[in-house]
Amino acid sequence: MNNENRNLLAKYLRHNGWVFQTLSSGNIKFDMSSNNGRLDCLIINTEDSIVMLSLFPIKVPDAKKEKVSEFISRANYGLEIGNLEIDFEDGEVRFRTYLMNQENIDFNKTTFDKLVKYNLEMSDRYLLSLIHLLYTESTPENEIDILNKK
């Protein structure tokens, strides 16, 4: 992302009242409180894309990784933009959205809403289900059914 687009993104974040930090790498870091918990967010700028990651405030223990992985697969099925991910090494769960850097992309409020707000909405949507999977006997199928009824 060039400096002009980075500045537009910073302006967008400020306009929405989000306090953020621009890292030496040019990436942007901020925290967000959602209805179901706090998210650590990172916007990564590469030559090819702009990626937003929302890291969930949980670590999945080894004994629950299969259950959570099934939930993630079921949740990701049919998503048009973004996806849930799990790191099998440390149990980190995150939601990823991205925009491909193309010359014809107009970086504006609508574009950034797709990257940022959609990410935050989906992260909040799935966080409570993940907590249920870790701390109750709920099943991936049950949590997806609950989400689909909302």
Q: Can you tell me the distance from the alpha carbon of 97 to that of 118, in angstroms, rounded to the nearest whole number?
A: 8
CATH topology of domain 3-149: Yope Regulator; Chain: A, (3.30.1460)
The answer to whether 60 touches 134, Cβ cutoff 8 Å, is: yes
DSSP letter for 138, please: -
Question: Quick check: 1 pLDDT over 60?
Answer: no
Closest C-alpha among 122, 125, 121 to residue 147: 125
Residue 62 phi, psi dihedral angles, 5° rounding: -50, -40
What are 103-120's pLDDT values in tens digits? Answer: 666 777 888 888 899 999
For the record, the structure tokens of 66 come out as 């299969």
Q: Is the pLDDT of residue 139 over 70?
A: yes
Percent of the chain with pLDDT strictly greater than 90: 63
Q: Is the pLDDT of residue 144 over 60?
A: yes
Domain ranges of the chain: 3-149
In whole angstroms, what is the distance from residue 138 CA to residue 130 CA? Answer: 10
Provide the pLDDT confidence category of residue 54 given band limits of 50, 70 and 90: very high
